[in-house]
Structure 1
Amino acid sequence: MANLENLLNKKIAACITRKEDFPEALSHPNIKVIFALKGSINYLPSLIKKSAEAGKFLIVHLDLFEGIGKDQEGIHFLARLGLTGIVTTKSNLIKFGRAEGMITVQRIFVVDSESLKTAIKVAKQIRPHAIEVLPSTIPAYVIQELQQSLNIPILAGGFVRTEADVHEALSKGVTAISTSLRKLWNLKLG
């Protein structure tokens, strides 16, 4: 299994919401990890194959992808297709993904101290390989608490629009930024 932290050494992961945008991420020299945030199971086998051929690591957002059963059998099917990574807000899907040998990313929304406590408690139980925290504008102490409590890579997404936003999020201690903005894919950070 790939080490996600090593895959994120360039500090930027591409987020794709339309299959038409996929070729740019596949050919981009600064992108190693691609988050497919939206799409259809009908073209997923092609995305998996093209990602592997390009040497990119594909992580599919299960909550937003259409046609994928949000259960153990759906995860098993994805593993059989060759998908190596998933992101989701649903802890049961993280468990199923881990059981299939996939890289798992738990997406969390931190809106207050209680949501942070709950996220840490759940992550300790299900043991995702990484956390993606939204929004990226959260205080540094939230990132520090996640790191100290979980000791796994922390990604930040949402509200990343400028190079300054990227540097601010990275200065808080996140491992990498996930963004759909192509201009930010060009940043040389790693």
Structure 2
Amino acid sequence: MREILEYNPVIAAVKSDETFNSAIKSDCEIVFLLYGDILTLRDKVEIIKKNDKKVFIHLDMISGIASNPIIVDYIHENIKVDGIISTKVNIVKRAIEKNINVVQRFFILDSMSLESAMDSIKKVRPSAIEIMPGIMPKVIKRLKDETSIPLIAGGLIKTKEDIMDALKSGAVSVSTTNSKLWEE
């Protein structure tokens, strides 16, 4: 997983139909699908895959999907994704059991949420972690230093400078919904 992320430092995070086509046409080789519903998910994933891109779906954001771990089994058997994203520990654990790449997303709001995230990371050991907001160099560095898990910075990434700061701090990739940053 680390190699995939290091080779693709900018990830297209797609949250609407308007940006879906831009992501498909972009230089980004990884797409984080942050919207949709259970009825259209397979079609969206197939379009992304046909365009030679890796797709990770954020299960927490797909309408019609419950937070029951059985959804991981369904996705694994019926929709060929490269990985999933979730904030929910039970979903992350099930993905690990099924040998599916999983990005665990954390919102770092204060020192308590940072400590809680580090405890969870050490217990669960996801394939990668995504922290939000992604413009926190000190937090990125600390998480990088205290875990060996690839770190993705996401949220509030608005400029190339934000990307470079996150990468310099230790993130291996940056996810952004800003399509202007998807081109190399």
Aligned to 1:166: 163
Q: Determine the C-alpha separation between the residues in 2 that align with 1:100 and 1:53.
A: 24
Alignment-mate amino acid for residue 80 of structure 1: E
Alignment-mate amino acid for residue 84 of structure 1: D
The reply on whether 1:54 has 2:58 as its aligned counterpart is no
Identify the match of residue 68 of structure 1 among 65, 70, 87.
65
The reply on whether 1:147 has 2:149 as its aligned counterpart is no
- How many residues were matched structurally? 183
Q: Determine the C-alpha separation between the residues in 2 that align with 1:108 and 1:159.
A: 14
The alignment yields a C-alpha RMSD, in angstroms, of 1.5
The reply on whether 1:80 has 2:77 as its aligned counterpart is yes
> Is the contact between residue 152 and residue 173 of structure 2 (CA under 8 Å) also seen in structure 1?
yes
- The Cα of 1:19 is off from its aligned counterpart by 3.1
Bigger drift between 176-185 and 43-52 goes to 43-52
- The Cα of 1:115 is off from its aligned counterpart by 1.3
> Is the contact between residue 137 and residue 166 of structure 2 (CA under 8 Å) also seen in structure 1?
no
Give TM-score, length-normalised by structure 1.
0.89
Q: Determine the C-alpha separation between the residues in 1 that align with 2:58 and 2:98.
A: 16
Percent of residue pairs bearing the same amino acid type: 32
Q: Determine the C-alpha separation between the residues in 2 that align with 1:65 and 1:33.
A: 18
- The Cα of 1:114 is off from its aligned counterpart by 1.8
Unaligned runs of 5+ in 2: none
Equivalent positions of 1:1-190 (< 5 A) are 3-28=1-26, 30-81=27-78, 82-140=80-138, 142-186=139-183, 188=184
Give TM-score, length-normalised by structure 2.
0.92
